[in-house]
Structure 1
Amino acid sequence: MARFPKPAEGSWTQHYPELGTGPVSYEDSIDPEVYRQEREAIFKRAWLNVGRVEQIPRKGSYFTKELKVANTSIILVRTGSGDVKAYHNVCRHRGNKLVWNDMPLEDTSGMCRQFVCKYHAWRYDLDGTLTHVPQEEEFFDFDKSRYGLVPVHCDVWEGFIFVNFAPTPEQSLREFLGPMVTALEGYPFASMTSRWCYRSEVRANWKLYLDAFQEFYHAPILHGNQTPTAYTRAAEEAGFEAPHYRIEGPHRLVSTSGVRAWEMPAEMRKPIEEICQSGLFGPWDKPDLGEMPAGLNPAGCDPWGLDSFQLFPNFTILFWGQGWYLTYHYWPTSHDSHIFEGTLYFPQPRTPRERVAQELSAVSFKEYGLQDASTLEATQTMIATRAVRHFLLNDQEILIRHFHRETAAWIEEYQRKTAGV
């Protein structure tokens, strides 16, 4: 879809007439059959981000990822040649999970020269080749070269590791990402190695939490208690509208202006923010990251707050104007539950003060994230009653309208392609 600047008297939605303006259904967030279809039509066809290369920095380093939505566990490993490869985490002998520690259903990581099955000690090298079988002579017509680990399609973009579970991916990773996302190339992701991670099991459909971050219409209300009363009331009356939305293929972007906290009146800042010189938008001292890629701040906001790039289906990269970024992942576990992962990335702190400033930003993010999540289970339980079947969306919620339409389109396309199979 083309990019349109928003005219002062116009709207965003009018530029995407195929999305419509009428009430929408949330049946896709409460129907177990839709969830089953999403697993096959979306999560086994789209490119999925599962981590970053910094998690496997050297030969033999690995991590596993439990992906209930794809009904599998995978191993990501740095091979001897420096490549990043992915395999299904299953031994070819009796189907035991190959790599796990104390709890077989939890992610793990480590270093090794080879993978050894805990059950019968079959061994595989870092390239997935079966190298050793105890009492090999007792097997029948056995050729080890035919029984390596089952590979998963894997590719890396800007340090982000993606996998694809289709027998043959319909697009290369770069084609799937498209120009809007690849215009971010050159951002210093690799230097952002100071990291904080949050993980939560949420009793709500994965799309509902993703929707919460696709508009800022809620910000003056839901997050109002984070600011002084007078400011909150003024914000509620004035409202808030992001200056730029963009839709390209299955992906979406919302960009917005920001605040220079250090220029605000002191009574609008919390004492801890004064002490640490930091807050939700990040440390007040912005690092010198060099020239930013052309894809950032498309509206030319000054001051610029953030850009939220939402990569279909379940991955968000959110860039903050103060020189750091975070990611969101939403991993479905059922039609009414998912695992949310939030990860914050900063440059390595040079001083204790910089470290404390980053920690305050991480804690502030957690507080706001909890507020965003606070409505989800209540929403899930009430839309599941079907007492109300259609819901209104305003012009600022155009990305929500597109996202649900896109998931339905992927299901429809998959059903059409497989109808004759």
Structure 2
Amino acid sequence: MAFFPKPAVGSWTENWPELGTAPVDYTDSIDPEQWKLEQQAIFRKLWLHVGRVERLPKTGSYFTREMPSVGPGTSIIINKDKDGTIRAFYNLCRHRGNKLVWNDYPGEETSGSCRQFTCKYHAWRYDLKGDLTFIQQEQEFFDVDKADYPLKSVRCEVWEGFIFVNFDDDAEPLEDYLGEFGQGLKGYPFHEMTEVYSYRSEIKANWKLFIDAFVEFYHAPILHMKQATKEEAEKLAKVGFEALHYDIKDQHSMISSWGGMSPPKDLNMVKPIERILHSGLFGPWDRPDIKGILPDELPPAVNPARQPTWGQDSFEFFPNFTLLLWVPGWYLTYNYWPTGVDTHIFEANLYFVPPKNTRQRLSQELAAVTFKEYALQDANTLEATQTQIGTRAVTEFPLCDQEILLRHLHHTAHKYVDKYKLEKAAAEAAKTNGNVKDGAHV
């Protein structure tokens, strides 16, 4: 395990002076009105990651996503049409508004394959491009034209196999939004890592608080010390820990860190099961036999400091998508879906190259189980945090240099909310002025 001394105060924060060094106001994580503004200004206007292309392996494949972060009851269908195009639609029949695709329980997500979508209520049918193709007893309607009633589409674009949607028709293209980090990650072999382990949990904490927990390692020596051996835990608690690199590009950010135990230099540092299976929290130790993961093959955004001790990069694509790459050749994704000011749904997916034998399979399962234990430790702490800041006894908190990405996250959320409020005020003023002019004209 490597240790890195903490650099001089301001060594990271001084690079982004606009973020300042003052205590950060966490009212944005407890104010219901602020959450409502975030829903409109952020989750209804920015690109949201909803899955991988591997979930749509053939023509007619589809899956649904519930999107409470966008609005209560919002549900979408993502599917692949006959041309191979991935599309997204509101999960809503154009006849009487029934939910179009669901199984036994309308609130649960589902997936499958079909030639067309048929409403359970009155059997209206839609093809894979969303066009209405059949109306039951069509002759009884009044001058109805099927071309006027397609499924309502949602903007949908794909980057490196990741599917994103946007509920704002005027939003910039996905690749422009992902910016320099998106460009710098192109070419990483995501498509090779199709073995997936998934976790989903309802967390009683604001969505930003969980991101806060994953963009700093200041907490690791304390919160997770029981996961290390006694000797290593004592070293971490005494020396502390500092990441290798931080970076911010517009609304997105990243943190780059050390190599951890993949594999450890001393096998006595890890548990017996980890020695046997060559795996642990940092993933399987054995590098898979694929191209694109060796140090000289990595795309430019990965390990930007070109540190020989590099182990993982975590990219935070605002608002709620984390992409975490590990040096042995696997990756994680996190999504944080707010359902209220103090609740959200946390989703985590671990992606590996498909195993070729039992040992590889078990090493991946061990990594997935170990990850879950760490995530539960973080989640439990966050719920305790939420209860206390919710008292408003204290609302401003000092952040250290290693917590620069927390500072950036809250600053960015406020920036989008403030922009939305200005635009809304301008629109209302223009409407009022228009009404005044019309009245004067009359």
The two structures share one fold, judged by TM-score above 0.5? yes
> Structure 2 matches for 1:97-108, cutoff 5 A?
97-108=99-110
The one of 340, 348, 351 aligned to 1:342: 348
Is it true that 1:411 corresponds to 2:413 in the alignment?
Answer: no
**Residues 261, 159 of structure 1: CA spacing in aligned structure 2 closer, same or farther, 3 A cutoff?**
closer
1:344 deviates by 0.2
Letter in 2 for 1:43: F
RMSD across aligned C-alpha pairs, in angstroms? 1.3
Query: 1:286 is matched with which residue?
Result: 287
Q: Any conservation in 1 of the 2:202–2:345 contact (CA below 8 Å)?
A: yes
Query: 1:378 is matched with which residue?
Result: 384
Query: 2:3 is matched with which residue?
Result: none
Letter in 2 for 1:188: P
Q: Secondary structure at the match of 2:290?
A: coil
Is it true that 1:157 corresponds to 2:159 in the alignment?
Answer: yes
Query: 1:246 is matched with which residue?
Result: 247
Is it true that 1:36 corresponds to 2:43 in the alignment?
Answer: no
- Partners in 2 of 1:401 and 1:7 — Cα distance? 18
Letter in 1 for 2:331: Y
Q: Any conservation in 2 of the 1:261–1:269 contact (CA below 8 Å)?
A: no
1:401 deviates by 0.2
Moved over 6 A (4+): 6-9
Structure 1 residues 216-240: Cα deviation after superposition (integer angstroms, max 9, x where no partner): 0001100000112222111101000
Query: 1:206 is matched with which residue?
Result: 207
- Partners in 1 of 2:213 and 2:155 — Cα distance? 31
TM-score by length of 1: 0.97
Query: 2:26 is matched with which residue?
Result: 26
- Partners in 1 of 2:264 and 2:212 — Cα distance? 32
1:7 deviates by 7.7
Q: Secondary structure at the match of 1:36?
A: helix
* Residue-pair matches, total: 415
Query: 2:434 is matched with which residue?
Result: none
- Partners in 2 of 1:79 and 1:352 — Cα distance? 37
1:362 deviates by 0.7
Is it true that 1:387 corresponds to 2:389 in the alignment?
Answer: no
The one of 323, 327, 335 aligned to 2:333: 327
Structure 1 residues 171-218: Cα deviation after superposition (integer angstroms, max 9, x where no partner): 111110001222100011111110000000001111101110010000
Is it true that 1:54 corresponds to 2:54 in the alignment?
Answer: yes
Q: Secondary structure at the match of 1:68?
A: coil
Letter in 2 for 1:52: R
> Structure 2 matches for 1:144-223, cutoff 5 A?
144-169=146-171, 171-223=172-224
1:266 deviates by 3.2
- Partners in 2 of 1:24 and 1:10 — Cα distance? 16
Query: 2:294 is matched with which residue?
Result: none
Query: 1:142 is matched with which residue?
Result: 144
- Partners in 2 of 1:9 and 1:375 — Cα distance? 27
1:289 deviates by 3.2
Range with bigger deviation, 194-203 or 262-271: 262-271
- Partners in 2 of 1:19 and 1:67 — Cα distance? 31
Query: 1:302 is matched with which residue?
Result: 308
Letter in 2 for 1:142: V
Q: Secondary structure at the match of 1:374?
A: helix
Letter in 1 for 2:246: Y
Q: Secondary structure at the match of 1:375?
A: helix
Query: 1:126 is matched with which residue?
Result: 128
Letter in 2 for 1:207: K
Range with bigger deviation, 223-232 or 95-104: 223-232
Q: Secondary structure at the match of 2:350?
A: strand
- Partners in 1 of 2:262 and 2:126 — Cα distance? 54
1:267 deviates by 2.8
Q: Secondary structure at the match of 1:419?
A: helix
1:260 deviates by 4.1
Q: Any conservation in 1 of the 2:333–2:348 contact (CA below 8 Å)?
A: yes
Q: Any conservation in 2 of the 1:181–1:309 contact (CA below 8 Å)?
A: no
Query: 1:91 is matched with which residue?
Result: 93
Q: Any conservation in 1 of the 2:248–2:254 contact (CA below 8 Å)?
A: yes
1:8 deviates by 6.6
Structure 1 residues 100-152: Cα deviation after superposition (integer angstroms, max 9, x where no partner): 01111111100100000000000000000000001101111200100000000
Q: Secondary structure at the match of 1:70?
A: coil
Q: Secondary structure at the match of 2:418?
A: helix
- Partners in 1 of 2:84 and 2:59 — Cα distance? 6
Q: Secondary structure at the match of 1:35?
A: helix
Q: Any conservation in 2 of the 1:256–1:301 contact (CA below 8 Å)?
A: no
Query: 2:437 is matched with which residue?
Result: none
TM-score by length of 2: 0.92
- Partners in 1 of 2:267 and 2:353 — Cα distance? 28
Range with bigger deviation, 397-406 or 223-232: 223-232
The one of 349, 354, 373 aligned to 1:367: 373
- Partners in 2 of 1:198 and 1:31 — Cα distance? 28
- Partners in 1 of 2:189 and 2:20 — Cα distance? 38
Q: Any conservation in 1 of the 2:262–2:284 contact (CA below 8 Å)?
A: no
Structure 1 residues 286-313: Cα deviation after superposition (integer angstroms, max 9, x where no partner): 1133222111011212232100000000
Structure 1 residues 362-382: Cα deviation after superposition (integer angstroms, max 9, x where no partner): 111111111111201110010
Q: Which runs of 5+ in 1 are unaligned?
A: 1-5
Q: Any conservation in 2 of the 1:283–1:357 contact (CA below 8 Å)?
A: yes
- Partners in 2 of 1:94 and 1:56 — Cα distance? 28
Q: Any conservation in 2 of the 1:121–1:134 contact (CA below 8 Å)?
A: yes
Letter in 2 for 1:134: Q
- Partners in 1 of 2:113 and 2:182 — Cα distance? 32
- Partners in 1 of 2:10 and 2:38 — Cα distance? 35
